[in-house]
C-alpha cells in the first residue's frame, strides 16, 4: 500500500507538471496562432480594399459621364454622333468597361453596347439578358449608388459583373433628366492582375455564379453557405500554409465570387518550433527523473499486469455487448459508426472503392403479422447467417435495426464487381427458408453507395445508400440500385413538391380546366373532362405530370381528389344557376380514394348540397383500380352508376389490359390511350389494336373514347373504325371555366363543336 501511495504521489506530481506544461504550450501556440490569424485576416481585408479601389474607378468613370454637360445635351438632342464618338471599343477598354446601358426616364432602353470576341469588338445593342438585368436595377439607382463598389455586383450567364449606376445630370447637378446610365465590368483575369498589383498579394478569383466548384474545400463551402454572411475569413490549408478568403455577394445577398490568397504560416510555425523546443528540454529533465521511478515500476509490474488483464477481459465483454446485436450477434449500428470512418481512411490510402449496401427485407411485417414475432426473429437469424455466408472475410455485415442490414464491402474492384456482388446477395436471400412450422420465401431491396464516387464520408455514404434503397423499393422491390445524383435531385424535388402541395390543397392554388369531348360521327360536344391545375406563388404553374405522381405516392391524392370533385360539382352548379346548357363533366378517381374514404357517400352529399343531378358527373378510373381490392371497388362503382353517373376506364391499353374482362365490369366506356392514337394512321399494329378494342366494346354495348387526337388524319381513321367519341388538341386544349361557359352558351341546343363555334366562343379570351 505504501509503494502504491508513493508511486501514486510521484505519478500525480509528474501528471500535474505535464498538464501544466501542456497548458502552457497550448497558451503559447494559441497566442502565436491568434497573431497569425489576425495578420491573415488583414490580408483578406487588403484584398477587398484592392478590389474596392479598382471598382471605384468604374464608379468614377460612370459619374464623370453622368455629370457631363455633353452627355446632358445628348439626352436632349439625341445626336447619334455623340454615342459613336464616346462609346468605342478603345474608350470602353480604357475605362475597363465591358457593358454600357442607357435608359430613358420612363425605363425604355435608349442605347446599349457590349465588348465581345475577347473584348476586341463592340456589339450594339448588348445581349437582351444584360439589358433586362440592368433595366431591373434602374428603379433602385439612388439606393444602389449609395452602396460600396464591392456591393454592386450581379450575376449573368457569362459570369459575375460589377456595375455602377448614375442618373444623367448637369455638371452642377441642377437639372436631373431621369435617364439612367449603367457601366458594367466582368470580374475576370484582368481584375485579378490589378488586385495583385494593388495588394501585392497572390490573389486568386473563383466564380460561384454557376455553383460552388467541387475543388473548393468542404470547410470553405460551409462558410460560404453559412447564414452569418461573414465577408472575410481565414482557414489553414495545412501545417505550412494558410488561405485568406474574401466573399463577394451580389445585390440580392447571394455568394457569387470568392477571393483568396495563400501564404506561409510563418508566425504559427515559428511559435510551434519555439514552444516544442522548450517543451522538449523540459521533457528531457522529466525523463531523467522518470528513470528513478523505474525500480518501483518493476516491482509493481506483475501485480498490475494481472489487474489490467482482468479489466481488459471485462472491457472486451462490455464492448462486444455494446457493439453487437443481441438477436443475430452481428455488429450493430454503433459498431458501424465507429468502424466505417477507419475503413474509409484505409480505402482512401489504398485508392480503392468501398461499397456500402443497405439491405431491407421486403414485406417482413407480413411474417410478424401472419405468424408471430418469434417466427420473425428466427427468420432474421437465418437472413443474418446467409448474408455472412455470401460475403467475404474482409466484408462487414451489420444489423442496423428491425429488418434492415448494412453490408460494407471494401475490396470490390469496379462497378461490375459491385453489381455481381449485390446480385449474389439477392439470390441468397430469395432461397426458401424453413421455419419451425412452415417454409417461407422472402426477398430484399438493396441500395448501394460507392466511395469515393457517392461520398467521401460516412454520413454522406449512408444517406446516399438510403436514397438508393428508396429507389429500389419504388421500382417494385427485389432489386438493387446504385446511387445516382439524379436520385438525390428527384428526392429533393419530390419533398419540395409534396410539402408545397400539402399546403396548397384546399386553397385557390388548385383549380380546374376542362377539355371538351366530341362525338366523332356528328361533331357534337358531348362532355368535358376536368383536369387539375396548380399555380404556386413561387414555383409558378406546376404541371400535373410533376405533382400528380407525388400526390399518389404520398397519399395526398385523397384530399386533392376530394377538392377536384367538389370544384367540378360547384362549377356545374354555377352553370346550372346561370341557365347555361349543361353537359357532363368527367372526374378522375384514384384507387386510394376508394380505399380510404366512403367515396359514394361523399359524392351523394355533394350533389344533394348543390341540388345537382348525379347524371352530370362522370368518373374515370384507371385499370389498376379494378385489380386492387377489385370486389370492393366494383361495388362502389356499381353504386355510382345506380346514382346516374357514368364510369369510364381511363388510359385503356397501358396497364394490365385484357379485353375479356370488359364483359364482367360495370362500365359505360373505355378511353383508348393516346399512345395507340398517335401513329394510328401510319402504324398497322396500333390500328389493329384500336380496331379490336372498338369492335369488342361495340359488341358489349360499351362506348369508346379516343384520347390525344391531334390531326384530321387520326380523326378520319377513328371515324372509319367506328370509334364513338374523342378528345385532343385537334378539337381544343384544356380551357378555363369561363371559356367553357362561353362555348356552352354559343352551342345552345345544337351543341355541334365546329370551328366557327370555337372562334365565336373563344375569341374574347384569346384577345385578352
**Confidence category of residue 764, pLDDT binned at 50, 70, 90:** very low
Report pLDDT for 301. Answer: 64
Considering just the CA atoms, what is the radius of gyration of the chain in Å? 38
Quote the CA–CA distance of 667 and 625 in Å, as a whole number.
Answer: 13
Identical fold between 333-483 and 495-767: no
Phi and psi angles of residue 171, each rounded to the nearest 5 degrees, phi first: -65, -25
Strand order in the sheet with 203-207: 203-207, 255-264, 241-249, 232-236
Contacts 24+ apart (CB under 8 A), 263-268: 263/40, 263/43, 263/201, 263/202, 264/240, 265/36, 265/236, 265/239, 265/240, 265/241, 266/36, 267/32, 267/35, 267/36, 267/39, 268/29, 268/32, 268/33, 268/36, 268/242
User: How far is it, in rounded angstroms, from Cα 75 to Cα 176?
Assistant: 11
Average pLDDT over residues 429-456: 86
> pLDDT tens digits for 445-502?
999 999 998 888 989 899 889 888 888 888 888 899 988 877 767 777 778 888 989 9
pLDDT of the residue at 120: 83
The dihedral built from the CA positions of residue 188, 189, 194 and 197, taken in this order, carries a sign that is positive
Residue 768 has pLDDT above 50, yes or no: no
Q: Once rounded to an integer, what is the mean pLDDT over residues 87-101?
A: 90
Question: Residue 554 in contact with residue 498, Cβ under 8 Å?
Answer: yes
| Architecture of the CATH domain 333-483 | 2-Layer Sandwich (3.30)
Q: What three-state secondary structure class fits 434?
A: strand
Q: pLDDT per residue over 337-354, tens digit each?
A: 999 999 999 988 888 899
- What is the per-residue pLDDT for 506? 92
Q: Where are the domains of the chain?
A: 2-32+283-320, 33-282, 333-483, 495-767
Percentage of the chain exceeding pLDDT 90: 29
Confidence class of residue 700 from pLDDT cuts 50, 70 and 90? confident
Segment of 193-202, 378-387, 510-519, 624-633 carrying the highest mean pLDDT:
510-519
CA angle 539, 543, 547 (to 5 degrees): 85
> Measuring CA to CA, which residue among 600, 589, 682 is closest to residue 639?
600
Per-residue model confidence as pLDDT tens digits over 298-324: 565 666 666 776 677 777 667 777 788
- At 758 the pLDDT is 62
pLDDT for the residue numbered 1: 55
For residues 159 and 151, is the Cβ–Cβ distance under 8 A? no
pLDDT of residue 385: 92
Q: Which residues contact 143 (CB under 8 A, 6 or more apart)?
A: none
Give ∠ CA 319-321-324 in degrees, rounded to 5: 100
For the cut 80, the answer to whether the pLDDT of residue 149 exceeds it is yes
Say which residue, 286 or 356, is predicted with more confidence: 356
pLDDT at position 705, please?
94
Q: Please, are residues 368 and 318 in contact by the beta-carbon 8 Å criterion? A: no
Relative to beta strand 647-652, strand 669-672 is parallel
* Per-residue pLDDT tens over the stretch 101-132: 999 988 899 999 999 877 788 989 999 998 99
Least confident of 47-61, 200-214, 505-519, 720-734: 200-214
Count, residues in the chain: 768
What is the structure's pLDDT at 766? Answer: 38
Cα 169 to Cα 154: distance, rounded to the nearest angstrom? 25
pLDDT value of position 99: 93
Q: Do the beta carbons of residue 167 and residue 178 sit within 8 Å?
A: yes
Residue 527 — pLDDT band, cuts 50, 70, 90?
very high
Tell me the pLDDT of the chain averaged across its residues.
84
Query: 362 falls in which pLDDT band (50, 70, 90)?
Result: confident
State the maximum Cα–Cα separation within the chain, in Å, rounded to a whole number.
Answer: 117
Q: Confirm or reject CATH 3.40.50.10190 for domain 495-767, answering yes or no.
A: no
The fraction of the chain above a pLDDT of 70, given in percent, is: 89
Q: Which of 569, 558, 560, 620 is nearest to 594 (CA)?
A: 558
Res 309: pLDDT: 65
> Residue 35's pLDDT is what?
83
Alpha helices for 411-556 (secondary structure H): 415-430, 458-474, 485-504, 544-554
Assess whether pLDDT exceeds 80 at residue 205: yes
Over residues 18-29, the mean pLDDT reads 76
Q: What is the reported pLDDT for 767?
A: 35
β-strands 241-249, 232-236 pairing: antiparallel
| Count helices and strands in the chain by DSSP H and E runs | 26, 26
Cα separation, 750 vs 511, in Å, equals 29
Residue 21 pairs in a beta bridge with none
Q: What is the architecture of the domain spanning 33-282?
A: 2-Layer Sandwich (3.30)
> What is the rounded end-to-end Cα distance, in angstroms, of the chain?
101
Residue 765 has a pLDDT of 42
Residue 249 phi, psi dihedral angles, 5° rounding: -120, 150
- Residue 296 pLDDT > 70: no
**pLDDT > 70? residue 624:** no
**Residue range 723-762, pLDDT digits in tens:** 999 999 999 999 999 999 988 887 754 556 666 556 555 5
Amino acid at each position: 500500500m505504501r509503494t502504491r501511495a508513493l508511486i501514486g504521489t510521484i505519478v500525480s506530481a509528474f501528471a500535474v507538471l505535464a498538464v501544466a506544461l501542456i497548458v502552457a504550450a497550448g497558451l503559447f501556440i494559441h497566442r502565436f496562432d491568434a497573431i497569425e490569424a489576425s495578420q491573415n485576416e488583414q490580408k483578406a481585408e487588403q484584398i477587398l480594399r484592392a478590389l474596392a479601389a479598382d471598382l471605384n474607378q468604374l464608379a468614377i468613370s460612370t459619374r464623370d459621364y453622368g455629370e457631363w454637360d455633353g452627355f446632358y445635351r445628348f439626352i436632349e438632342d439625341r445626336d447619334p454622333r455623340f454615342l459613336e464618338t464616346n462609346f468605342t471599343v478603345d474608350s470602353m477598354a480604357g475605362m475597363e468597361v465591358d457593358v454600357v446601358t442607357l435608359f430613358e426616364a420612363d425605363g425604355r432602353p435608349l442605347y446599349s453596347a457590349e465588348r465581345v470576341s475577347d473584348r476586341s469588338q463592340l456589339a450594339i445593342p448588348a445581349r437582351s439578358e444584360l439589358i433586362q438585368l440592368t433595366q431591373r436595377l434602374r428603379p433602385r439607382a439612388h439606393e444602389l449608388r449609395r452602396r460600396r463598389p464591392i456591393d454592386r455586383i450581379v450575376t449573368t450567364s457569362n459570369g459575375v459583373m460589377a456595375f455602377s449606376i448614375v442618373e444623367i445630370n448637369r455638371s452642377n447637378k441642377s437639372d436631373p433628366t431621369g435617364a439612367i446610365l449603367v457601366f458594367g465590368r466582368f470580374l475576370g483575369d484582368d481584375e485579378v492582375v490589378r488586385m495583385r498589383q494593388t495588394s501585392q498579394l497572390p490573389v486568386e478569383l473563383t466564380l460561384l455564379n454557376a455553383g460552388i466548384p467541387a475543388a473548393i474545400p468542404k470547410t470553405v463551402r460551409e462558410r460560404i453557405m453559412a447564414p452569418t454572411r461573414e465577408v472575410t475569413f481565414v482557414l489553414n490549408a495545412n501545417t505550412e500554409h494558410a488561405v485568406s478568403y474574401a466573399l463577394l455577394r451580389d445585390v440580392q445577398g447571394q455568394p457569387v465570387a470568392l477571393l483568396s490568397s495563400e501564404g506561409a504560416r510563418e508566425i504559427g510555425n515559428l511559435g510551434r518550433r519555439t514552444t516544442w523546443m522548450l517543451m522538449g528540454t523540459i521533457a528531457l529533465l522529466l525523463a531523467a527523473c522518470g528513470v528513478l521511478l523505474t525500480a518501483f515500476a518493476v516491482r509493481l509490474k506483475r501485480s498490475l499486469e494481472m489487474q489490467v488483464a482482468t479489466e481488459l477481459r471485462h472491457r472486451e465483454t462490455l464492448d462486444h455487448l455494446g457493439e453487437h446485436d443481441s438477436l443475430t450477434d452481428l455488429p450493430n449500428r454503433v459498431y458501424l459508426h465507429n468502424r466505417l470512418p477507419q475503413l474509409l481512411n484505409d480505402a482512401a490510402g489504398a485508392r480503392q472503392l468501398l461499397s456500402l449496401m443497405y439491405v431491407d427485407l421486403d414485406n417482413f411485417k407480413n411474417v410478424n403479422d401472419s405468424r408471430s414475432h418469434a417466427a420473425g426473429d428466427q427468420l432474421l437469424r437465418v437472413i443474418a447467417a446467409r448474408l455472412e455466408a455470401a460475403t467475404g472475410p474482409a466484408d462487414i455485415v451489420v444489423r442496423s435495426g428491425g429488418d434492415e442490414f448494412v453490408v460494407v464491402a471494401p475490396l470490390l474492384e469496379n462497378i461490375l464487381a459491385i453489381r455481381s456482388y449485390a446480385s449474389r446477395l439477392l439470390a441468397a436471400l430469395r432461397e426458401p427458408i424453413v421455419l419451425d412450422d412452415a417454409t417461407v420465401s422472402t426477398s430484399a431491396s438493396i441500395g448501394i453507395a460507392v466511395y469515393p464516387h457517392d461520398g467521401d464520408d460516412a454520413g454522406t455514404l449512408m444517406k446516399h445508400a438510403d436514397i438508393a434503397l428508396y429507389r429500389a423499393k419504388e421500382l417494385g422491390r427485389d432489386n438493387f440500385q446504385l446511387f445516382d445524383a439524379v436520385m438525390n435531385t428527384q428526392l429533393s424535388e419530390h419533398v419540395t413538391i409534396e410539402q408545397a402541395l400539402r399546403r396548397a390543397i384546399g386553397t385557390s392554388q388548385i383549380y380546374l380546366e376542362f377539355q371538351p369531348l366530341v362525338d366523332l360521327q356528328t361533331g357534337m360536344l358531348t362532355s368535358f373532362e376536368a383536369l387539375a391545375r396548380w399555380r404556386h406563388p413561387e414555383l409558378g404553374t406546376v404541371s400535373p405530370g410533376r405533382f400528380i405522381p407525388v400526390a399518389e405516392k404520398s397519399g395526398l391524392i385523397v384530399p386533392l381528389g376530394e377538392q377536384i370533385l367538389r370544384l367540378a360539382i360547384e362549377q356545374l352548379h354555377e352553370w346550372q344557376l346561370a341557365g347555361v346548357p349543361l353537359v357532363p363533366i368527367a372526374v378522375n378517381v384514384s384507387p386510394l380514394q376508394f380505399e380510404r374514404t366512403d367515396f359514394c357517400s361523399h359524392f351523394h352529399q355533394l350533389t344533394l348540397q348543390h341540388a345537382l343531378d348525379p347524371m352530370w358527373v362522370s368518373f374515370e378510373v384507371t385499370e389498376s383500380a379494378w385489380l386492387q381490392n377489385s370486389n370492393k371497388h366494383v361495388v362502389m362503382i356499381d353504386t355510382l352508376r345506380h346514382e346516374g353517373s357514368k364510369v369510364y376506364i381511363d388510359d385503356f391499353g397501358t396497364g394490365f389490359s385484357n379485353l375479356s374482362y370488359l364483359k364482367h365490369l360495370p362500365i359505360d366506356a373505355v378511353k383508348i390511350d393516346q399512345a395507340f392514337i398517335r401513329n394510328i394512321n401510319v402504324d398497322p399494329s396500333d390500328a389493329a389494336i384500336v380496331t379490336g378494342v372498338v369492335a369488342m366494346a361495340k359488341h358489349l354495348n360499351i362506348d369508346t373514347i379516343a384520347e390525344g387526337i391531334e390531326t384530321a388524319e387520326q380523326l378520319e381513321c377513328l371515324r372509319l373504325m367506328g370509334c364513338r367519341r374523342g378528345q385532343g388538341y385537334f378539337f381544343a386544349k384544356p380551357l378555363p371555366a369561363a371559356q367553357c361557359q362561353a362555348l356552352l352558351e354559343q352551342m345552345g341546343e345544337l351543341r355541334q363543336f365546329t370551328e366557327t363555334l370555337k372562334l365565336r366562343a373563344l375569341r374574347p379570351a384569346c384577345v385578352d
